[in-house]
Amino acid sequence: MGKKVVILGGGVAGLSAAHELAERGFDVTVYELRRIAGGKARSIPVPGSGKQGRKDLPGEHGFRFFPRFYKHIIDTMERIPYGNNPKGVADNLVEGTRLGLARTDGPPVEFLTEFPTSLKDLRALLKSLFDNRLGVSEREFEHFLDRIWQVMTSCNERRTEEYQDIPWWDFIDAERQSEAFRRVFTGMTRILVAAKAREANTATVGSVGAQILADMVVPGGSASRILNGPTNEVWIDPWVEYLRQIGVDYHKNARVERIECNDGIITGAIVTKNGETFEVKGDYYIAAFPVEVMAEMVTPEMAATDPSLNNLKKLAESVDWMNGIQFYLKEDVTIIHGHIIYIDSPWALTSVSQRQFWPRFDFSEYGDGQVKGILSVDISDWEKPGILYGKSARHCSPEEIRDEVWAQLKAGLNVEGKVVLEDSNIHSWYLDEDIHYPNPDGLPVNLEPLLVNKVYTWDWRPHAYTAIPNLFLASDYVKTNTDLATMEGANEAARRAVNAILHASGSRAKRCKIWDMYQFEPFLFLYREHDEFRFRRGLPWNGKMIASLG
């Protein structure tokens, strides 16, 4: 005990690792590049928007969605004190009861994200949804259901060894289905942090999609949760404060320049803070950078000791753009009680109208006091031409992005004569500061892209431990049960890194709990056992079981 751990990067993974280690008596220091803690999950106050002593308007990198299947991050949140909340900041999560599919040829299709009944209801629910209102035929609906059922009843080995290399598009045979089918079922993958149906692997999209659908029909709460205020106010800042209280030294505005590796071990990290460059040393190091940063940190000496670290460069090519824009409204527009996927929007938009979930948040204390609502929008496709200027988001100026996103939102919501969004209702707007416009003519760069789970990338993803005995990795790209670059995946990765440090240091402290991702057990246990039996004999999944379900 008392061993020193240096954590490089202070996003969800870095904070999670610091939390687990400090509670186990380690001496922990975190070095974070930015002025605000939390990495991609952080809130970003809109610079200069607070008037007459008010606070700046709450902006963000992208809105935060906590599906019900999250366990690791929720467990951590329950241990972050917040006022009199019995379950700490986890009590700041509220349920969204609806998911909306906005389309351009009819009103948004809404469906419940909580539905207290059995798997049979999944059939009924999907049927009513897809069969009647979105033009998906009975046969196609059955086909989709079969594919989801296949994922749910497949064994873990098949998921990892087979489905990691099958694009979701191929798995659902999208090419041979109708346009209506493709529109709905490939559009829906966008809620899974920018996954594109043609590139994303079936293990991830199929399993997470099946889990979300199952959570909608299994009693016990909504499949979707959202914070009841700006992320840093109701989660990240109380977290950093709690970590300080338990002894964590968290440095903001501290850039890690490089990691020093000599004779096969890490001997230090070079950090610049307040114009001063110095070396930091510890017994153990956790690199909690995003993959594209970590890939650049790998030195020839590190790669010589652990050649698998060379894979990070290949993995880093899987990052893509997903960034948010917020519209501050003069009058609140609720739309629906949850998230909306704009299935026809070329820029793959999703949104949430936040005020309804922020009951204790006094809007008059922010900006000029006139903002009454916030529509937070994620843009997940930066390549496809838009409907207004015919340009991709990457080729647009910030103002063009604003106009284009607003036009695509209106195309999905202002249908059949209904006016949900009015131009005159925009008070102001804010595009993620990570979209950086270096010069008037140049294309923007994205300072924080996101790893998207693609086919054939599982083998490149590293474990939380490395062959360098004092270097551990914690971020959303590490191999985890969660298998999706999310806050849940980042937290699980951190737990794995901490467990590896406990092992390496000979600590007898309790290991961090790691959960299985999928909650289909014990319900589907026999099916999956049977599939494991078949998989080990080189046999395909047995589709006949669908029929036996009746």
Q: Tell me the HSE value of 387 on the side-chain side, using a 13 A CA sphere.
A: 15
In whole angstroms, the minimum distance from the beta carbon of 293 to ligand FAD comes to: 4
Count of residues engaged in binding ligand FAD, rule: CB under 6 A: 37
Residue 489 near residue 12 (C-beta atoms within 8 A): no
Dist. CA 102–CA 411, nearest whole Å: 9
Q: Should residue 367 be labelled a site residue for ligand FAD when binding is judged by CB under 6 A?
A: no
> Any idea what the Cα angle at residue 85 is, between residues 81 and 91, rounded to 5°?
95
Q: Should residue 62 be labelled a site residue for ligand FAD when binding is judged by CB under 6 A?
A: yes
In whole angstroms, the minimum distance from the beta carbon of 64 to ligand FAD comes to: 5
- DSSP string of 471-491, one letter each residue: EEE-STTS--SS-SSSHHHHH
Query: Quick one: which segment of 57-65, 206-214, 215-223, 307-315 binds ligand FAD (CB under 6 A)?
Result: 57-65
Structure tokens given for 246: 């338990």
Q: Of 323-352, which residues contact ligand FAD (CB under 6 A)?
A: 323-324
Which member of 82, 242, 250, 289 binds ligand FAD (CB under 6 A)? Answer: 289
Residue 480 near residue 496 (C-beta atoms within 8 A): yes
Which member of 5, 6, 7, 12 binds ligand FAD (CB under 6 A)? Answer: 12
Binding mask 17-46 for ligand FAD (x = CB under 6 A): --------------xxxx----xxx-----
Q: Should residue 450 be labelled a site residue for ligand FAD when binding is judged by CB under 6 A?
A: yes
Q: Should residue 320 be labelled a site residue for ligand FAD when binding is judged by CB under 6 A?
A: no
Query: Quick one: which segment of 82-90, 162-170, 284-292, 542-550 binds ligand FAD (CB under 6 A)?
Result: 284-292
Alpha-helical segments (H) within 284-352: 291-297, 300-305, 311-316
Residue 394 near residue 383 (C-beta atoms within 8 A): yes
In whole angstroms, the minimum distance from the beta carbon of 108 to ligand FAD comes to: 20
Is the Cα dihedral 178, 180, 184, 190 positive or negative?
Answer: positive
In whole angstroms, the minimum distance from the beta carbon of 547 to ligand FAD comes to: 37
Which member of 46, 99, 152, 256 binds ligand FAD (CB under 6 A)? Answer: 256
In whole angstroms, the minimum distance from the beta carbon of 54 to ligand FAD comes to: 26
Structure tokens given for 509: 């402290």
Query: Quick one: which segment of 60-68, 388-396, 409-417, 422-430 binds ligand FAD (CB under 6 A)?
Result: 60-68
Q: Is 60 or 114 the residue whose CB approaches ligand FAD more closely?
A: 60
Q: Is 69 or 130 the residue whose CB approaches ligand FAD more closely?
A: 69
Tokens 């954590």 identify what position? 7
Among left, alpha and beta (phi > 0; psi -120 to 50; other), residue 394 is alpha
User: Nearest-CA neighbor of 375 among 419, 409, 411?
Assistant: 409
End-to-end CA distance of the chain: 58
Dist. CA 538–CA 525, nearest whole Å: 20
392 by Cβ neighbours in 10 Å (0-12 / 13-18 / 19+) ranks as middle
In whole angstroms, the minimum distance from the beta carbon of 439 to ligand FAD comes to: 23
Binding mask 421-440 for ligand FAD (x = CB under 6 A): --------------------
Binding residues for ligand FAD, per CB under 6 A? 8-14, 31-34, 39-41, 61-62, 64-65, 193, 255-256, 288-290, 293, 322-324, 378, 450, 475-476, 485-488, 490
